[in-house]
Structure 1
Amino acid sequence: MAERELLLGCDIGSSSVKTTLLDAATGKAVAAGSSPHEEMPISSPQKGRAEQDPGMWWENLVAAVQEAMRQADASPKEVRAIGIAYQMHGLVLVDKKQNVLRPAIIWCDSRAASVGDTAFHEIGEAYCLEHYLNSPGNFTASRLKWVMEHEPETFKKADSMLLPGDYIAMRMTGETATTLTGLSEGVLWDFREKQPADLLLSYYGIPEKLLATAHPSFDLHGKLTGKAAKELGLKKRTPVTYKAGDQPNNAFSLNVLNPGEAAATAGTSGVIYAVTDRPAFDPKSRVNTFMHVNNREQSPRNGVLLCVNGTGILNSWLKKILTNESAFDYNDMNRLAMVAVPGSGGLTILPFGNGAERILENREIGAQLLDLDLNRHGRADLCRAVQEGIVFALRYGFDIMRDMGIEPKWVRAGRANMFQSPLFRELFADNTGAVLELYRTDGSEGAARGAGIGAGIFRDEQDAFIGLEKLEVIEPDKERVKVYDELYQNWLTGLSRFLP
């Protein structure tokens, strides 16, 4: 068999680690791996806390890479480059010997919200928005400040602060490095001055030397050490040539690169990510602007991200409490949801039970079940109310983006997670008013395509998307739109009970 030119994409999520081997010649996936088969645990030592052991990510990455290599019957020398996508906003601290100093504080942890809010007001809201395009909020810089204040002995030992993808790249290459997009997602980048956020670092008392060297997303981030190559079953000195947070990477994987284009996901959290060429921001920082993977000085590209933490995690919670039967799965829930009428018989769900929600100005109002009638509502109403509540929450954020002048006419998504539900797809199109395009891809495949660009195997971004397969197009239905406009107003009334 002729030797192939394969690209390895790795997606480090909070639930699982996924890998894809992509044939560079055809743009088609030849194998995929995933680990663990059950969800990775998230530790919550106190209310609003969420932590994971970074070593667990590495162990599952090793398993997922080996699974993909076995499936493809691939030899190590066929893998020409590696790309990494990762859960955003996490904080990993390592010492001079690259030992992890404490569990990673991950994306849905709320502990630093008040730290960032105080900085927002004391530095000056106008300054933060004009320079960082965000409040420091509950992001990585604020989390580091929390560690400095509450765990000073740990902070003193820290040599580098890393994002989850930076940690994985460090385990692969032995080098500590980050990306320009990564600095922006931590609110550590000054968009106006085009440099690290010196004033915020000074305000927090964070030494700039803790920031790892920053590269573009498409770049050489190091090469596999002998130790890492042996563990992964790959060739020593295989280059790591792409790294990006999961949402910019998801947009990239769907070829969403230019102003007016948008991508969506509906996994543990739900996200709509729209590309703009402007330094756009929401005055209340309810949606957030970060540097996109293809940002260049001559052609700026930023991603405006709205996130609803309580998305797939709410659907998963419902599945667990509905039945303990192993045969009852998400397809059964989707069929039940289709049985119920629009509006779920008056049952309303607010899907906000997974930490502080940015679209609610970092409030933690919890998930709420409103107007439950014990004589009328059953499993079908619950299943539909969950899907409607999630989409209404996404619509709430989408309206904030519209107020910023960002209104994509179409949104692309992979047919995965909640987008596997026909009802969810219909609800999404009818409530956003955008045409929904579904593709056969995922974050690990996107990371593989990114590795191909970074390694120079693909000539350009257009060349990287050969083989990307469109599966379905869902357009808004005018009659259903009228129905959901009214139901959405009812949902807003329910939400108003929990907001000042």
Structure 2
Amino acid sequence: MLLLGIDVGTSSIKVSVVDASTRKNIVSAQYPETESAINSVKPGWAEQEPEMWWEHVQQAILKANATKKYDPKEIGAIGIAYQMHGLVLVNKQQQVLRQSIIWCDSRAVEIGDKAFSAIGEAKSLSHLLNSPGNFTASKLAWVKANEPAVYNEVHKAMLPGDFIAMKLTGDITTSISALSEGIFWDFKENKLSDDVFNYYGFSKDVIPAINPVFSEHGKLQASVAHILSLKEGIPVTYKAGDQPNNALSLNVLEPGEVAATAGTSGVIYGVSDELTYDKQSRVNTFAHVNHREDEQRLGVLLCINGTGILNRWVKNTFTPAISYSQMNDSHKKAPAGSDGLRVLPFGNGAERMLNNKIVGAHFHNIDLNLHSQEHVQRASQEGIAFAFRYGLDIMRENGMNPQVIRAGKANLFLSDLFAKSFVNATGVPVELYECDGSVGAAIGAGIGVGAYSTPKDAFADEKPLQLIEPTETKTFDKFYFDWKELLQKFI
């Protein structure tokens, strides 16, 4: 049996086809080749068109099929990973009512802050494990307050992965993991939060049917199967946010295990078996893919909005004609510490770890006689590494003390300079794996369809490609505290 994994990213859609018996990736395809736009009609806003995602999903699958490396009719299950925290609204005809308000949109910060106070900070944290903040429920409240005609047409509110599953199957489902990342779920009561729904005035009817993460979320419609050359009736057996999915892909499933990613945003994601929370809600706790009421598995998530998006901006602004690989080689010409040039990478909306402040991206100490484009490139990647250190220190305050961090050798971790800056700034070794969101989604589908007995079994043979150990922590501590002193002036 073959497994199809779909990763609905902010920049593009990626799909992979995996052989269930060998766990080997047969082929991957991405669409589009260029990065998808984020629509920002006002400062702090960020939207994308869900129907664009769906068109790109189809094109990516057709692109994979065109390689002729597999028979599409042998695909037996589909899994979906997706950008977290987005809001998709549809009417009873399953038509999209407005563009999706995506994860890095900041418009609902004040709404969430007021809900946090009204519900009660202690109760919010102990029951929701988070402030309502800028998450999906608060985004829905913004629509209710500002677009009542749209809100009155809402049949179901869902996350991006739920929408893609709906387009594939015609069924609308969700999971506790998805609801927890939207701040709809009460962990103490193990049900939809009465406090959130009552405060915001939502009907619980807008929430789709709740299924386990690893379970059937509908079967492929005949019309879609025909377009994509797949078998009618293939089940969608897995849906998860991109960060829980990345943790699954890295076999980070048990308490104390920690994963990291550095794509458009940067994340450190650790697993706990306790209903833990940060009193300032700077890091967030959601239900992990293997969470159960009788065996709690919580994902403690630190998110930095401004990581890979800064790296992309630097490349496109200073060296648009070269590849990322070439850029990663060129900035090695600048010394560690970038001769005092410091970069704050926070230019992608409100940063939760900075108490939802919009700090912006900043370049400090520019010496026009000394600093070159290589210094800018290196200082930017070092600044991102320092942001990870800042966030990891918050996680340490909350009892998460990783001895090793697992990451996929992808995105910023393809840069040897960034990877070494990360381990020297944080003081934690990193194991790099061959890891991909769409492959993880495919394996998740295999777990959901019963091809593997447990999630751990699905990744039993996984071995790291590389271990990077800290070698210059004292030097990087000096750079970091210099960087942190600059940050304090803005927060």
TM-score per shorter chain, which class? Answer: over 0.9
Identity over aligned pairs, percent: 53
Q: 1:263 aligns with which of 256, 259, 262?
A: 259
2:129 is the counterpart of 1:128: no
1:231 aligns with 2:223: no
Alignment equivalent of 2:63, drawn from 51, 63, 67: 67
Q: Could you tell me whether the CA contact under 8 Å between 2:73 and 2:229 is conserved in 1?
A: no
Whether the 8 Å contact between 1:415 and 1:439 is mirrored in structure 2 is yes
Q: Given that residues 269 and 307 in structure 1 are in contact (C-alpha distance below 8 angstroms), is that contact kept between their aligned partners in structure 2?
A: yes
Whether 2:33 is the aligned partner of 1:37: answer: yes
Deviates more, 1:440-449 or 1:68-77: 68-77
Q: Give the Cα separation in 2 of the matches to 1:140 and 1:94.
A: 15
Amino acid at match of 2:226: K
Q: Which residue of 2 aligns with 1:350?
A: 344
Find out whether 1:310 has 2:306 as its counterpart. Answer: yes
Q: How many Å apart are 1:476 and its aligned residue? A: 1.3
Q: Is 1:458 equivalent to 2:452 in the alignment?
A: yes
Match of 1:97 in 2: 93
Partner of 1:20: 16
State the partner residue of 2:319: 323
Q: Return the letter of the residue paired with 2:30.
A: S
The CA distance in 2 between the partners of 1:206 and 1:60, in whole Å, is 32
- Residue in 1 aligned with 2:359? 365
Amino acid across the alignment from 2:93: K
187, 192, 206: which one pairs with 2:188? 192
- Whether 1:297 aligns to 2:289 is no
What are the Cα deviations for residues 221-262 of structure 1, in whole angstroms up to 9, with x where unaligned?
A: 010011121222211000000000000000001110001111
Alignment of 1:98-497 (within 5 A): 98-325=94-321, 328-465=322-459, 468-477=462-471, 480-497=472-489
| Residue type of the alignment partner of 1:299 | E
Deviations 1:329-357 (A, max 9, x none): 11222122222112111111000000000
Deviations 1:9-41 (A, max 9, x none): 100001000011011111110111110000111
Q: Which amino acid aligns with 1:54?
A: P
Compute the RMSD of aligned alpha carbons: 1.0
Unaligned runs of 5+ in 1: none
Shift of 1:374: 1.1
Question: Residue 304 of structure 1: SS of its match in structure 2?
Answer: strand
Mapped partners of 1:37, 1:305: distance in 2: 29
Q: Deviations for 1:106-164, whole angstroms, at most 9, x for unmatched residues?
A: 01100001100111112111010000000000000000000000000000000000100
Q: Secondary structure at the match of 2:168?
A: helix
Residues 449-472 of structure 1, C-alpha deviation per residue, up to 9 Å, x if partnerless?
110010011122233125535210
Structure 1 residue 65, shift from structure 2 partner: 1.0
CA shift, 1:74, in A, is 2.5
Give runs of ≥4 in structure 1 deviating > 3 Å.
466-469
SS of 2:66 mapped into structure 1: helix
| Helix, strand or coil at the partner of 2:420 | helix
Give how far 1:380 is off: 1.4
Supply the distance in 2 between the matched residues of 1:185 and 1:130 (Cα, whole angstroms): 15
The count of residues paired between Structure 1 and Structure 2 equals 491
**C-alpha distance in structure 2 between counterparts of 1:251 and 1:231, whole Å:** 32
CA distance in 2, matches of 1:230, 1:202: 44
Write the letter of the residue equivalent to 2:11: S
Judge conservation of contact 2:26–2:69 (CA < 8 Å) in 1. Answer: no
